[in-house]
Structure 1
């Protein structure tokens, strides 16, 4: 390995999480994924099928795999990854706090009984592990500077596997320094063909992000008019949540177009908040179309 400048060596050591001096920024967030994904297919439900009467006045009752359960149990048990079907019925049922049958909205959730099938798939792509940061090391002045949230270091799956298969000492929590690569805040992020802020990748990782690839070859970088690297990814096409913008139903595609047009930002300077709504609450509000939950975007007051 060629020796670089003292500043360059110090920047690499700090970014990779090794010995740091007083210049070290807040600890980076590391994410490691190594297993293969197991994807369960499920048909999309068009937004046009959202039930118009889900916001009615009837109280809710719940069944999980045909067994009556409490709201709390259904809320915790039904996830984006294990839900298979949802049915909504008008029924007369006895609620736990009543002695007579009442008109209710019965939400019937059917989930995977096999925990392995209902588990969250692991991330695909050429990246084995990566760290998030809001700082970068400026080698010109040997100083840390603030930057938008971005992937600062990463390891390639092929290199990690090569060391592991060769009998090298490598583990999920102790990746050799030589395997870490650096990425600058100026790298381009592309999700399903649309340029997006880097923070979008962090928000949907573990949610709907299926693949994460980082490319630094000249052909790929030239395609996106950058010399700083390209982070590419796609989402699961068959388990996409609703997108609700300021109370109005939208879609993942429209959300990505908003990102491309600069109308959506994850920067703290923008008064905007976004969160993921779990399937039970989304079905209560939006009917069966909410069975995969909802990504909610609101302008902060």
Structure 2
């Protein structure tokens, strides 16, 4: 039983879930700072963000397996369908359940806030969840995965949550939503840089496949620079304090260290970098949460 549970926990890809938690920490700070925090709508928005990412991870496993894009030669994290730990039918059922949790959580948020436009946002999120890996034009195979990450793991959860609970989002939150989204994209950059050869062989046209393998570290570097710039500007606008703004720059050494790693590491070492990038996203989310409410 314990082994079965651990398999399913692993299948959710906990090493990536900071991508959905970090932006919700950022918007939590803004809601508290502006005096408009409401616990239950926020909780259901958090459940939407987390369950939507888990659904996306399940869908990516399922459709990549069905499309024979995953093989037992991969150097990335193991895929439980490829190893036979989970059957395709079980993964499909799990995908339906997690989709149901996303929908029910979203409807609860709508009822609690009265923001009926959230239904349209929710439909867009669900389309993004499945269109990432499936459909006539899968985003992940046409170089649009990075755009999807910034949109669905940065801007949408932050701006939609704030709008539904607190009204029009302030400008600083827009800057921070883009900044955290760009950092989350570095999780995908690690993944796609590591899988460059496999993706090119399978016809998966990620940005790194299109631009060439050497572009992987360059993209990570550019994302890192933009992250620091946007988050620093956002915190300054939010607090108007040079002291608090300087604290944001404390993340720069972490970001720089990971950027150096992607220039030096190869193969399975990039699995560690992906995990570290995910952890730093949580650190960034916590830092921004604290600074906004100080």
TM range, smaller chain: under 0.3
Higher helix share: 2
Higher strand share: 1
By relative contact order (CA 8 Å, sep 6+), the higher-ranking structure is 2
User: Over alpha carbons, which structure has the higher Rg?
Assistant: 1
Q: Output the TM-score relative to the length of structure 2.
A: 0.28
